[in-house]
Structure 1
Amino acid sequence: MSLRPTLDFLLYDWLGAERLNQRERFADHNRETFDAVLDTCERIAREKFAPFNRLVDTQEPQFDGEKVILPQATHDARLAYAESGMLSAAQDDDIGGMQLPFLVESAANTFFAKASISIGSNLLTTGNANLLMAHGTELQKQVFALNEFNGRFTGTMCLSEPQAGSSLSDVVTRAVPDGDGHETDPLGPRYRLTGNKMWISSGDHELAENIVHLVLAKIPGADGKPVPGVKGISLFIVPKHLVDTDGRLTGERNDVALAGLNHKLGWRGTTNTLLNFGEGKYPVRGGAGAIGYLVGKPGEGLRCMFHMMNEARIAIGMAATMLGYAGYEASLDYAKNRPQGRPMGAAGKDPAQPQVRIIEHADVKRMLLAQKSYSEGALALALYGARLIDEQHTGTPEAADEARLLLEVLTPIIKSWPSEFCLEANSLAIQIHGGYGYTRDFAVEQYWRDNRLNMIHEGTHGIQAMDLLGRKVLMENGRGLQLLAARINATIERAIQVPDLAAHANALGQALQAVGAATKAAWATANPTEALANAVPYMQAFGHTVLAWVWLDVALVAHAAAASPARQGRLAAARYFFHYELPRIGAWLQVVRERDLTCAELPDDAF
């Protein structure tokens, strides 16, 4: 089994990627150029990433006191990725990009995520550069963003702190103006930063000439004290090595010091760091603290950073999806080749009869279908999100606005649903392998470990759930939820005309009504404590409803296709999701609808 036929079906048959070529921005592209990009990325992932996935898991980054040491395979893989042009694939031609649709870029990047998520985690560099293209000055774009796109520099985002975790209002990293004339620095208003940042992926390494840290810090208010809450948070470019206005390294190290490496359950090939800013290990001339350049306006750091955070959340959802898909592929191959047991019935009791392959057992088929429905459904959802981004940037004003709002509502689902259910797919992949699944002789245990991090990466499960129920479904008077419901209903209306899909269409209609009723019931008292007490069950039910919609929409296209094993498999996965998964939303929505406070009201000492 290969990922490519599934991608081709979703891209061309379902989402109609070729129609994007009719838009001016993508006019130089066609199916042939899209396929060439996919071919190149598939080859690089196969040659430079996949063979070393186990290596980078066992040979973790090491710090020798001065620099981080990574396997040569990581250097080679990153170089091959940078030289492919994928770092700037969606950027304008005149800055070295390909002007690819984001949909095609996302599809091409799936090969790297599936081959080795630890090596393939270039998402922060692209996200960092995209943020600067949106919010930076012209010189900041030229010096930092373009050098990230061409591979000279890499990028990070530095949000969390040891004492604050996900609570960004509690960050204590400070930024103070760097003396007289700080506002006239060509690279942006210049500040000195002091503080500590934790869980910084790719925070230190020797993979590139420079590392561009985007750092959240608080600027003092008029009274000289930090402004409380998130209003005082600003965003700064803090390069590892100082540069001139042409992007050349000056030879002076900025005061950004690696305090230690975090050794994690998964993603072990990616350097994860604790960084100290302005501690004095690398003193910079003219004062104490690390030099940083303000991005955007003072106090608008979170608004700017959300540009990168939302992009990273979608990328994490895709990473979780591809880890689930990789486990599905591995367990499918194992099930087709592992003989064990005999058929049910009288003949199965005869030990003289030959064993059957485990894929012939109904329960193994159940576990494979679950994995297929989770991973392929999540892939379709993530690509649909990418298609919305293209619509947002190149559609008519009305279509772009609808795409923006739909993406706001769907982003928590795109991030969190695969992080939960493709992790479950990885668990089922281990189960299919039996005892072998727990050993390092097979890849499925690593896929599970790597995927377990994604429920925490870029905003925990609970944070995403509160964002969905507490903000996204309410924003603009619920218009985003109404837009989504309209699209779901449009699919239902088409599917109900197809006898083989009519029952699924009716089930989805009932699920949509149940989600809508639960949303209203949760906020009936307008009390956030009551409404959000069961935000995670709400997100699970909401996500399952969205995935059922995706599967029904995919099934409509598959149903109209010529008979083939792939068509049969897609329709079976859709049927599985409607029969085994969608009915689960009842229990989740019940506690939401009743505003059950079992969890919220239990006193600490009762535990």
Structure 2
Amino acid sequence: MRATVDFLVFDWLRAGELCARERYADHSRETFQQVLDTCERVAAERFAPANRACDVEEPHVDAEGRVVLPASTAAAVKAYFETGMQAASQDAEHGGLQLPCVVEMAGNAFFSKASVGCGGYTLLTSGNASLILAHGTPKQREVFAARELTGQWMGTMCLSEPAIGSSLGDLTSRAELDDTNDPLGPRYRLKGSKMWISAGEHELSENIVHLVLAKVPKPDGSLPEGSGGISLFIVPKWQVDEHGALTGVRNGVSLVGLNHKLGWRGTSNCLLNFGESAPAIGYRVGAEGQGLACMFHMMNEARIGVGLSASMLAMAGYEASLAYAKDRTQGRPVGQRGGAPVPIAQHADVKRMLLAQKAIAEGALALNLYCAALVDAQRSGTPEQKADATALLGLLIPVAKSWPSQWGLEANSLAIQVLGGAGYTRDWPLEQYWRDNRLNMIHEGTHGIQGLDLLLRKASQPQALQLLAARVNDTVQAALQDPAMADWANQLAAGLALVGKATKAAWASGDPAQAAVHGTPYLQGFGHLVLAWTWLDLLRHTPSGHPLHAGHRAACAYFFAYELPLAQAWLAPVLAGQSLLAALDPEVL
């Protein structure tokens, strides 16, 4: 994996050139390499050994109401904070290393591959701190974000409610104004319940900073309707003073119970009540009614992180099944009688399953690192580069989250299949990788919601689509110059034209409700186009003598032969204006 990461970061995305920009001037390729070395080592020494324990020894509540985790989880999280990666890409003025996002994401890939269950705590804390740095007051940054960036405190995001999942405009948690003059910001008392809160309760840090969505009641006591009435609040587990010192008073955030998950068992998942047995004091972040807009700052970062996790679980499964297939002997080549059994990696169908995993895992990782490079363009590019990166990143985020999640799960299923019956046992890690990856299609916006986001919001913006088309066409034109890639270039150009037609067809009626019917098939066809582009671009940047060239060529050939043609089938009902789902009466089901 390390050779793949180095190629993507330094040869394809050319991260070393970022050091010429003022923001990254204190770094060099050597410092980037050192960061990756450290992450690879700590992940192998601390996270990987903890992965099985945090799956088998699920979080549980002891007699005193504390959430108990394996000791190895605490050791892994502590080791992560000691690397400084929690503040890797943050500004130096906030104690950050001011690394490029692409280097941060590449480093975090090692931790995601080693144990997503342990990594969930740090991922959420990083996003929480980033949001407060972006939208909080100077005092909120000083008291809350600064302590999260060192790992002294940790963080969550609290969106869903027991009866309210993704329809956040219907949430019922309320925040009553208590004091407008608190040094930590306008102070409120919150009341309500939040469900599916990852890392919502644990003993890994001295405090937990909850970011909670709630509504401020209108003068008549009723709650405002819709998402425009949502505000965002910092609600710490333990109350603090204006200097960040713990007061010793437990805030009114109580653990109702733990959810027992199929995978990601190492990350505690909670139902929390706010303001039930004691006041839940919270401090508003940003303007009243702007909570969802603020929270999306964290959600977008989290969605890239989810895509990275899915990519690395696919990578872990691929590497494990590849090693097994090269070692396990069974059967003989077709037509051969007698002789010694051969490694199963020599059988055509096993090759198919291994190559599919490679194409999925490495392609998905490349896509997520490409999105990280767009974040770097946002932070340090020219005004034009920043504008282009923002538009393109918005378009690609639904794909970067959902494509690795959907197809990474399929890769893990193929890994199990390579091992046969052995893969279906707990004696091998493949079943855990599959269970862990199944969550990625659900959290931080389900697969269907990402399809709606892509088709109804992002693809309706011509500028973003034109930017993507221009970059795809650049790859097409470059690949056409090489006869060995010309056929794939023509396939990619045809795929781009097909997506363009599907976009127009989906919006033919001009009615968002009609377009919404096509969200998921559009996302799947669009996603496969993006990954075909990614693989062709990777191949054209891999010199023929490079150690990775043969593997890249095989994966690219597989994707264009076996995967890209699927896009036409997915987009067919979109192009035909299929109305079955819009007209379907649920009573017939």
Give the TM bin, normalised by the shorter chain.
over 0.9
> Quick one: distance in 2 between partners of 1:532 and 1:499?
40
> Quick one: distance in 1 between partners of 2:526 and 2:414?
23
Once the two structures are TM-superposed, the CA of residue 216 in structure 1 deviates from its matched residue by 0.2
Is the 2:50–2:76 Cα contact (8 Å) retained in structure 1? no
Match for residue 62 of structure 1?
60
Alignment of 1:449-528 (within 5 A): 449-475=435-461, 478-528=462-512
Match for residue 154 of structure 2?
154
Deviations along 1:67-109, one digit per CA (max 9) or x if unpaired, are 1011110111111111110100111223321110011000000
Asked if 1:398 corresponds to 2:384, the answer is: yes
1:17 is aligned, of 15, 19, 30, to 15
Match for residue 360 of structure 1?
346
Once the two structures are TM-superposed, the CA of residue 599 in structure 1 deviates from its matched residue by 2.3
Match for residue 136 of structure 1?
136
Residue 228 of structure 2 aligns to a residue whose secondary structure is: coil
Alignment of 1:123-272 (within 5 A): 123-178=123-178, 182-272=179-269
Q: TM-score of the superposition, structure 2-length normalised?
A: 0.99
> Quick one: distance in 2 between partners of 1:247 and 1:5?
43
2:427 is aligned, of 441, 450, 457, to 441
> Quick one: distance in 1 between partners of 2:580 and 2:326?
45
Once the two structures are TM-superposed, the CA of residue 504 in structure 1 deviates from its matched residue by 0.5
Q: Which runs of 4+ in 1 moved over 4 A?
A: none
- The size of the alignment, in residue pairs, is 587
Match for residue 337 of structure 1?
327
Higher mean C-alpha displacement, 593-602 vs 55-64: 593-602
Higher mean C-alpha displacement, 269-278 vs 87-96: 87-96
Match for residue 276 of structure 1?
273
Code of the residue aligned with 2:6 in structure 1: it is D
Residue 227 of structure 2 aligns to a residue whose secondary structure is: coil
> Quick one: distance in 2 between partners of 1:391 and 1:412?
19
Deviations along 1:297-353, one digit per CA (max 9) or x if unpaired, are 0000000000001110110000000000000000000000000000111xx233xx1
Code of the residue aligned with 1:271 in structure 2: it is S
Once the two structures are TM-superposed, the CA of residue 174 in structure 1 deviates from its matched residue by 0.4
Residue 89 of structure 2 aligns to a residue whose secondary structure is: coil
Residue 199 of structure 1 aligns to a residue whose secondary structure is: strand
1:349 is aligned, of 337, 341, 355, to 337
> Quick one: distance in 2 between partners of 1:267 and 1:367?
25
Once the two structures are TM-superposed, the CA of residue 422 in structure 1 deviates from its matched residue by 0.8
> Quick one: distance in 2 between partners of 1:498 and 1:245?
64
Is the 1:327–1:426 Cα contact (8 Å) retained in structure 2? yes
> Quick one: distance in 1 between partners of 2:14 and 2:66?
47
Once the two structures are TM-superposed, the CA of residue 563 in structure 1 deviates from its matched residue by 4.9
Alignment of 1:560-575 (within 5 A): 560-564=543-547, 566-575=548-557
> Quick one: distance in 2 between partners of 1:534 and 1:521?
10
Code of the residue aligned with 1:123 in structure 2: it is L
> Quick one: distance in 1 between partners of 2:138 and 2:216?
23
Is the 1:380–1:550 Cα contact (8 Å) retained in structure 2? yes
Code of the residue aligned with 2:165 in structure 1: it is G
1:600 is aligned, of 571, 582, 587, to 582
Match for residue 286 of structure 1?
none
Once the two structures are TM-superposed, the CA of residue 224 in structure 1 deviates from its matched residue by 2.6
Once the two structures are TM-superposed, the CA of residue 532 in structure 1 deviates from its matched residue by 1.5
Match for residue 47 of structure 2?
49
> Quick one: distance in 2 between partners of 1:177 and 1:465?
37
Structure 1 173/563 Cα, relative in aligned 2: closer, same or farther at 3 Å?
closer
Is the 1:131–1:308 Cα contact (8 Å) retained in structure 2? yes
Is the 1:533–1:595 Cα contact (8 Å) retained in structure 2? no
Code of the residue aligned with 1:452 in structure 2: it is R
Match for residue 418 of structure 1?
404
> Quick one: distance in 2 between partners of 1:595 and 1:249?
59
Code of the residue aligned with 1:90 in structure 2: it is S
Residue 231 of structure 1 aligns to a residue whose secondary structure is: helix
Once the two structures are TM-superposed, the CA of residue 190 in structure 1 deviates from its matched residue by 0.3
Q: State the identity %.
A: 59
Code of the residue aligned with 2:54 in structure 1: it is V
> Quick one: distance in 1 between partners of 2:399 and 2:211?
26
Match for residue 374 of structure 2?
388
Deviations along 1:523-565, one digit per CA (max 9) or x if unpaired, are 011122221212111000000000000101001011x24153x
Is the 2:213–2:291 Cα contact (8 Å) retained in structure 1? yes
> Quick one: distance in 2 between partners of 1:141 and 1:96?
12
Match for residue 90 of structure 1?
89
Deviations along 1:131-154, one digit per CA (max 9) or x if unpaired, are 000000000000000000011100
Asked if 1:299 corresponds to 2:289, the answer is: yes
Alignment of 1:99-110 (within 5 A): 99-110=98-109
Structure 1 563/302 Cα, relative in aligned 2: closer, same or farther at 3 Å?
closer
Match for residue 546 of structure 1?
530
Residue 3 of structure 2 aligns to a residue whose secondary structure is: helix
Match for residue 40 of structure 1?
38
Match for residue 311 of structure 1?
301
1:587 is aligned, of 564, 569, 574, to 569
Once the two structures are TM-superposed, the CA of residue 241 in structure 1 deviates from its matched residue by 0.3
Match for residue 326 of structure 1?
316
Is the 2:263–2:436 Cα contact (8 Å) retained in structure 1? yes
Code of the residue aligned with 2:143 in structure 1: it is V
> Quick one: distance in 2 between partners of 1:451 and 1:295?
32
Code of the residue aligned with 1:597 in structure 2: it is S
> Quick one: distance in 2 between partners of 1:271 and 1:230?
28
Q: TM-score of the superposition, structure 1-length normalised?
A: 0.96
Is the 2:232–2:285 Cα contact (8 Å) retained in structure 1? yes
> Quick one: distance in 2 between partners of 1:329 and 1:455?
22
Once the two structures are TM-superposed, the CA of residue 34 in structure 1 deviates from its matched residue by 0.5
Residue 214 of structure 2 aligns to a residue whose secondary structure is: strand
Code of the residue aligned with 2:520 in structure 1: it is V
Once the two structures are TM-superposed, the CA of residue 600 in structure 1 deviates from its matched residue by 2.5
Runs (5+) with no aligned partner, structure 2 = none
Asked if 1:76 corresponds to 2:113, the answer is: no
Is the 2:137–2:185 Cα contact (8 Å) retained in structure 1? yes
> Quick one: distance in 2 between partners of 1:222 and 1:255?
24
> Quick one: distance in 2 between partners of 1:530 and 1:85?
48
> Quick one: distance in 2 between partners of 1:95 and 1:538?
41
Runs (5+) with no aligned partner, structure 1 = 284-288
Residue 189 of structure 2 aligns to a residue whose secondary structure is: strand
> Quick one: distance in 1 between partners of 2:577 and 2:137?
47
Is the 1:522–1:594 Cα contact (8 Å) retained in structure 2? no
Code of the residue aligned with 1:60 in structure 2: it is E
